[in-house]
Amino acid sequence: MTKYSVVISPPDTVIEAVRQLKQQLRQAIGWYHSVNALAHITFCEFHAGTDTLARQEAYIARFAAGQSPVTLRFDHTGIFASGAFYLAPDEASGQLLGRMMKDFQLGMRLPAYKPPATPHLSISRRLGATQLPVAGTVIGEVDISFYCEDIVLRRFNETRRQYDIYRRFPFGKV
C-alpha cells in the first residue's frame, strides 16, 4: 500500500514565495516540522493499492470535471492548537474551499480519515509556545493570490520523506 494525498497545489511562484517564508522562519527558530514541504492545501490522505488507486483516480477526475477554475486569496495567518502556523484564506476563498473540501469528502468515502477543518497553507507544524510568537513576527502580513485550475494527486516518496506530484486533474474537463 502506498500513501497518497489529494491537494490543491499552487503555481510555482506561490510555492516559491511560501518556501521563502518558511526559510525566514527556519533562520529565526531552526529546523521545524514542514520546513521542506511544498505549499499545498490538503483535501485528504489515503493508502491505496493498484485497484483502490484506480477507483480513487476515477472519482478525483469526476470531481475535478465538476469544478470551475477560481482565484484564491490568502491574506492573514493563523494558529492551530497543535502548534501549526499557517496562511489563511480570505473569507470568500475560505467559504469556497470549505464547500469544495466538504463536497470532495462526501464522495471520496475514505474510512477513518478526518479531513482538515480549515482550509490553509501550512508554514509549520508542532511549534512550541515560544516559537509561535516568533513565527507571527517573522511571517508578518501576507497577501498571496493564485488562480486554481486543477486538483492534484500526490504520492509519498519514501526516500525523500515528502510527497511528489503524481497526477493533475484539470477543473471543468472530463
- Give the DSSP letter string of 47-77: EE-HHHHHHHHHHHHHHHHT---EEEEEEEE
- Under a CB-based contact definition with an 8 Å cutoff, are residues 144 and 78 in contact? no
The model's pLDDT over 112-168, given as tens digits with 9 standing for 90+, comes to 556 667 899 999 999 999 999 999 999 989 999 999 999 999 999 999 888 999 999
Q: What is the pLDDT of residue 16?
A: 97
Three-class DSSP category at 40: coil
Q: What is the pLDDT of residue 174?
A: 57
Is 2's pLDDT higher than 60? yes
Q: What is the pLDDT of residue 108?
A: 80
CA dihedral 146, 86, 18, 164 (to 10 degrees): -90
The model's pLDDT over 12-65, given as tens digits with 9 standing for 90+, comes to 999 999 999 999 999 999 999 889 999 999 998 889 988 889 999 999 999 999
Three-class DSSP category at 36: coil
Q: What is the pLDDT of residue 115?
A: 60
Angstrom distance (rounded) from CA 121 to CA 22? 11
Mean pLDDT of 97-107: 90
Q: Which CATH number fits domain 2-170: 1.10.760.10, 3.90.1140.10, 1.10.274.10, 3.40.309.10?
A: 3.90.1140.10
**Residue appearing with cell numbers 484506480:** 54
**pTM, entire model:** 0.91
Q: What is the pLDDT of residue 53?
A: 92
